Structure 1
Amino acid sequence: DQAQKIIFETVYNNKDYENFILEFSGGNAIFTFFGHISVGFISAFQYILKNMSSFLFKNHASLQREMEYHADAISTFVTNPEEQTSSLLRLELSDAALAHSINFYIESKEKYLPQNLYKNQTSSMQILSERNNHPYVNGLPKIDIEDLNRYNKSRIEIEDQWASHPDIAKRIEKIKTNKTQNSGFNHRLATEIIKGYDHICEAMTRKYLTLLQIKNVGEIIDNESFVQLYRENSSYENLSLKFNGYYERHNPVLENLEVVLSNPVQIDRDDLFSDTKVSLVYEKAGIEGDLQTLNYLYSHPKDIKTFRFEGTLYKAKDAQSLIPKFENELQKVKNDLLENDKIIFAHFYRISAETDKENLFSTYEKFRMVDKEYDEFQESLNEFIGYLQFMAVTLPFEEIRKHRVKLLQAEKPFKQKIKHLLEDSTYGTLLAEEDRNLLQHYVDAHYIYFNNDRYLQNEVDSLSLLIERYQTLLNEHYLNSKQELVNLQASLDKAY
């Protein structure tokens, strides 16, 4: 890895040295001439090294993948194919559970610290298993190979020649053919086998926090407190558990609700949120991802030479021919989801009491407006953030002044957009007084950010705080509006 890093820096990240040579010439014709010769020599060396390193590291990665198969063979010999396979299938879920646990403490902004991070990981794994309907067998979640593909509907296959680990499906195929000396099953967990397991985990937790450079200033909480706080702060907790997870990655945006109600279609309630309907959500995400991949392949044919689709090998330049097919499929899936959303709305409207019908109608309409405004405000924010990048790097004063001029020009329409949010939007009606004051203060301020060859740190910090809070508000109110809609439907479902 260290060798790869050194060669990467030499081959791909050596522009500073080249620029220094050319700048050092200072316009002198002789120095400039020899400077270009030097840069030309470096470029030739980089070209040779680039091709050699690509060959060597690809072969090294291939060797690493082969050694992984050998490691699986040894593990299978000591245990058995079934247990080795089940451990491998659980790996991704376990990794996600640890990441969720760590993120909980990071997002608490040092308010909490873990007593035992690995107990938290186990609890997170149980919560994630509940969300995804994974049964528990012998104290551990049972994951099938189909579960790994449930959310990944991509059909474009690109061989990753740089990967150090083989694909899990390929590893499982090999494991099934491996020899074993142990045909019996031992379902005892490490907590039962290792003496002082909890103390070891607590010591490892403290070590891990030190490695992450997390300050020891928060309240240390036990696992029970972690689970309670995690569930309370988990944004998608209810979205995942209700309606078979249909709304976790899908936003039910409907227009012309009166027209929807004028053409009612009745379908069994369970069919509206069946696995087939949930699968449409992930098919849509898969097709969108594949379209991005195909567009990249077509525009960068030298980066990746070939790919597979439905068992056929294609050249990168042929990616464009598949794009219309995927676009048509995407439109069909979008239409299917839209029709299902219409039927869902009509269903809940039909089963609602008269007093709830107006509430359901207005909640759908409110979410439609929030969805529309979110795209508008987010686009404005993304565009404005691009003008702030110069503050994150060291630049000559004259360059900073040029960038500041562009920033101040871009700030005018950005402030207008915030003013629109405050005065004439659904988002504006949802703001707390503190957030409204923060946004209004920025709109009224006349910051210049840089003066007398130095940044005005108070103004830069105020802008950073505004950007962070503005993004949080957009996300929070969008999610809260969606949560409100899902909760309302859940209450109507329960009452019915």
Structure 2
Amino acid sequence: MIQNTVTLSSEFKSQATRAILSIILFIFTYVVLVILALGLTALCVYGGIMLIITYPRLITILLGAGLASLGILVLIFMVKFVTKSHKADRSHLTEITKSDEPELFNMIQQIVDQVGTSFPKRVYLSGEVNASVFYDSSFWSMFFPVKKNLQIGLALINTLTLDELRGVLAHEFGHFSQRTMKVGSYAYNVNQVIYNMLYDNESYDGLIQSWASVSGYFVPFVQGALKIIMGIQWVLSKIYGVVNISYMGLSRQMEFHADEIAAHVTGYAPLRNALLRLELADYSYNTVLNYYGDKVGDKITSENLYKEQAYVMQFTASETQAPIVNGFPQVTLDEQKKFNKSRLVIKDQWASHPSTEERVERLEKTNIEVQTGPPRPAITILKDPEATQKRLTEKLFSVVQYAGPTVHQPFDVFMDSFQAEQVKNSFDKRFNGYYDRKNPIKFDLNKAKKEASVDVSALFADEKLDMVFTSNALQNDIETITQIATGAYPMKTFDYDGKKYKKADGFALVKELKLEQEQVDEAIKQNDMEIYTFFRQRESAAGSDRKLAGLYSDIFAYDEAGDERVKLYSELINATQFVSTTTPFDVIDMNFKAVKKLEDKMKAYLGEFLNDPQYTNEISTEMRETLEAYVEKDLIYFLNEQYLDSNLQKLFQAANYFYYLVSRAYFLRKKALVDYQAALLDK
């Protein structure tokens, strides 16, 4: 059996030991707290009884009951998690059996036999790009065995070869076989227990409030119980951090271990290829979902969303010039690294999974190769692939609320519409993605050179694109290191460009990086000026009018206006954060007065968008109706000491539309500029 041939790394053993020690720490702390709670309860009950016996009056009966309840409420808080269970939501899943999908079940059985583990209790198909092991858990599942279920996403099967799917499933069964899975399960359940006591207190709060409302004499004792509970929560919050970090560390090692088990089943290449393609598969799936999300008002649905997902994946691969092997795009690690110029290395101790890059590099180091059969799309393992795709598509759309009967959009209409949307929202490929990841940097048009010193291929060469990636990476690194230095990101040390830094060194490093970013941005600005000069020459040679300068001036002017509007959106969102927290009534009224001033500014801008003909095609019928109704009315958001949720929803929806229109307005200007430059190239 493969599980016996894969040895545990020293790091795996170390993380397992840490997880066990953190569990022991929790058990010890919890037992001490329970003993103290029992002692407090006994004292409170005894004191309450003695008070009633000594002074048998109505007031002493109430005070005695209140005193006894103080200890009982604390004890109930300490044990309330015992009755809490965590059932996985299965509403989006479709259970399948061996009679439904015999070939798939035979493959699962083969993997189970190879890995040396048990067959899942149930097998489900889901819609998304995912495969996972799940089970219902409770406090008692730490002591009794729990059968695990397997979930396989149809959007995953749809985008893999059969060997790649086998590798992904072998990874999941690698988790089934891990002896340390029980340690992980204990750590997970301990986390759930602490989480329940820290945050999942809705029903307990209801109990507290109900008891306090019985009599005013109970209120001081309820308040005393709450003070004690706050102290217990403070202790548990410290333990939660320790347990959670150790659990996440063990979880990452379990992923590496399961990957190695999968490599023994299929070789390292199938799982590596699957991991690298997952992001593209997920992007394609969500692109189709978003496409139909915009069609809800038109009551248009898909008959086979997965056929469209496959088309989008192939289309995107052709756009990015990714090679197609055996009918599937091949995504390489080098291609992914090309976009990431960051020199900051942070081991995220809170991440439950290693990065794709880490997993791929570990897999390749195994260098395990296994002879497999001829390439075959994984979707063909299903008995009737198209019928299954249509059935899950129908289930997916069934949860959407439509205003009336829906119609399926033909596949060829989807293709034409999708391609048209791509042309509408993308830039000419001759610019090498230069404008996909940056906006033109503002400069004085009058200070640009009179003659271009380089040709167009040099202006949009890969090294120019690298400058853009470098600037973006520096900006992200500066923000992250600033968070580390200020303590917002809890880390003592970090690595940058191969050198280890202490937290306190972050401020000095940020100064250096800002200077470096300024130099890179200046180089990008000079290139933008060269681009302007080049196309101005083209424009002059073509005998065109001086449209280019106007397009640049327009985009530079709107850049400042757009920033102001984005700032307004951020201020409005931040100003309404209080609605999600407990806030005194008088403060709520005062806050909404501040919101009203920001809202009036936003309404004025929205009016401009609605009345400007250049945005007619950008504003859908549903959006226009929503915004016109919002702009024309002065909505009330708080009345009779209650939030008016429907009006708040209208406010937030209008704010989101506003942000979309602000961003879209800039894009349209940028698109007009780039399209004009492309037209000059054609001339």
Correspondent of 2:663 among 475, 478, 483: 475
Q: Hey, what does 1:101 align to over in structure 2?
A: 288
| Structure 1 residue 313, shift from structure 2 partner | 2.6
Structure 1 residues 345-395: Cα deviation after superposition (integer angstroms, max 9, x where no partner): 111111224543511121111111222211122222332343444566787
Q: Hey, what does 2:442 align to over in structure 1?
A: 254
In structure 2, relative to structure 1, the CA distance for the partners of 1:59 and 1:186 (3 Å cut) is farther
Q: Mean alpha-carbon deviation: is it higher for 235-244 or for 320-329?
A: 235-244
Q: Hey, what does 2:105 align to over in structure 1?
A: none
Distance 1:48 1:452 in 2: 39
Q: Mean alpha-carbon deviation: is it higher for 110-119 or for 393-402?
A: 393-402
Unaligned runs of 5+ in 1: none
Structure 1 residues 134-190: Cα deviation after superposition (integer angstroms, max 9, x where no partner): 121221112211112122222222112232322223322332343756235632222
Q: Hey, what does 1:359 align to over in structure 2?
A: 547
Q: Hey, what does 2:498 align to over in structure 1?
A: 311
Distance 1:296 1:418 in 2: 35
Structure 1 residue matching 2:500: 3-state secondary structure: strand
Q: Hey, what does 2:348 align to over in structure 1?
A: 160
Structure 2 residue matching 1:356: 3-state secondary structure: coil
| Structure 1 residue 83, shift from structure 2 partner | 2.9
- What is the letter of the counterpart of residue 7 of structure 1? I
Structure 2 residue matching 1:239: 3-state secondary structure: coil
Contact 1:85 1:172 in 2 (8 A): yes
Distance 1:82 1:336 in 2: 41
Q: Hey, what does 1:182 align to over in structure 2?
A: 370
Q: Hey, what does 1:227 align to over in structure 2?
A: 415
Distance 1:337 1:223 in 2: 43
Q: TM-score, normalised by structure 1?
A: 0.83
Distance 1:125 1:431 in 2: 30
Q: Mean alpha-carbon deviation: is it higher for 429-438 or for 253-262?
A: 429-438
- What is the letter of the counterpart of residue 136 of structure 1? I
| Structure 1 residue 285, shift from structure 2 partner | 1.3
In structure 2, relative to structure 1, the CA distance for the partners of 1:124 and 1:444 (3 Å cut) is closer
Distance 2:644 2:275 in 1: 53
Larger Rg: 2
In structure 2, relative to structure 1, the CA distance for the partners of 1:30 and 1:238 (3 Å cut) is closer
Structure 1 residues 378-417: Cα deviation after superposition (integer angstroms, max 9, x where no partner): 2223323434445667877655433333333444555666
Q: Hey, what does 2:265 align to over in structure 1?
A: 78
Distance 1:36 1:451 in 2: 29
- What is the letter of the counterpart of residue 245 of structure 1? G
Structure 1 residues 193-226: Cα deviation after superposition (integer angstroms, max 9, x where no partner): 544222222222233445x656595432244332
- What is the letter of the counterpart of residue 196 of structure 1? D
Correspondent of 1:61 among 241, 248, 251: 248
- What is the letter of the counterpart of residue 266 of structure 2? T
Q: Hey, what does 1:115 align to over in structure 2?
A: 303
In structure 2, relative to structure 1, the CA distance for the partners of 1:468 and 1:158 (3 Å cut) is closer
Contact 2:606 2:658 in 1 (8 A): no
Distance 1:61 1:43 in 2: 26
Distance 1:290 1:206 in 2: 44
Contact 1:240 1:248 in 2 (8 A): no
Structure 1 residues 441-481: Cα deviation after superposition (integer angstroms, max 9, x where no partner): 97786655555667789976765564344333212221111
Q: Hey, what does 1:288 align to over in structure 2?
A: 475
Contact 1:307 1:313 in 2 (8 A): yes
- Mapped pair 1:276 → 2:463: yes
| Structure 1 residue 124, shift from structure 2 partner | 1.8
In structure 2, relative to structure 1, the CA distance for the partners of 1:29 and 1:327 (3 Å cut) is farther
In structure 2, relative to structure 1, the CA distance for the partners of 1:392 and 1:432 (3 Å cut) is farther
Distance 2:368 2:641 in 1: 71
Q: Hey, what does 1:196 align to over in structure 2?
A: 384
Contact 1:78 1:181 in 2 (8 A): no
RCO greater where, 1 or 2, for CA within 8 Å and sep 6 or more?
1
Distance 2:423 2:580 in 1: 31
Matches for 1:16-55 after TM superposition, within 5 Å? 38-55=225-242
In structure 2, relative to structure 1, the CA distance for the partners of 1:179 and 1:153 (3 Å cut) is closer
- What is the letter of the counterpart of residue 49 of structure 1? L
| Structure 1 residue 245, shift from structure 2 partner | 0.8
Distance 2:259 2:286 in 1: 25
- What is the letter of the counterpart of residue 523 of structure 2? D
Distance 1:98 1:222 in 2: 18
Q: Mean alpha-carbon deviation: is it higher for 328-337 or for 376-385?
A: 376-385
- What is the letter of the counterpart of residue 279 of structure 2? E
| Structure 1 residue 251, shift from structure 2 partner | 0.8
Q: RMSD between aligned alpha carbons?
A: 3.9
Identity across the alignment (%)? 26
- What is the letter of the counterpart of residue 357 of structure 2? A
Contact 2:428 2:675 in 1 (8 A): no
Contact 1:73 1:179 in 2 (8 A): no
Distance 1:438 1:170 in 2: 46
Q: TM-score, normalised by structure 2?
A: 0.62
Structure 1 residue matching 2:263: 3-state secondary structure: helix
Distance 1:317 1:218 in 2: 60
Q: Hey, what does 2:23 align to over in structure 1?
A: none
In structure 2, relative to structure 1, the CA distance for the partners of 1:240 and 1:45 (3 Å cut) is farther
Contact 2:443 2:525 in 1 (8 A): no
In structure 2, relative to structure 1, the CA distance for the partners of 1:6 and 1:241 (3 Å cut) is farther
| Structure 1 residue 293, shift from structure 2 partner | 0.4
Distance 2:500 2:264 in 1: 36
Q: Hey, what does 2:523 align to over in structure 1?
A: 336
Q: Hey, what does 2:11 align to over in structure 1?
A: none
Q: Hey, what does 1:345 align to over in structure 2?
A: 532
Residue correspondences, number: 486
Distance 2:681 2:424 in 1: 19
Contact 2:558 2:666 in 1 (8 A): yes
| Structure 1 residue 101, shift from structure 2 partner | 1.8
Contact 1:153 1:286 in 2 (8 A): yes
Contact 2:268 2:369 in 1 (8 A): no
Q: Mean alpha-carbon deviation: is it higher for 313-322 or for 438-447?
A: 438-447
In structure 2, relative to structure 1, the CA distance for the partners of 1:57 and 1:39 (3 Å cut) is same
Distance 2:652 2:352 in 1: 39
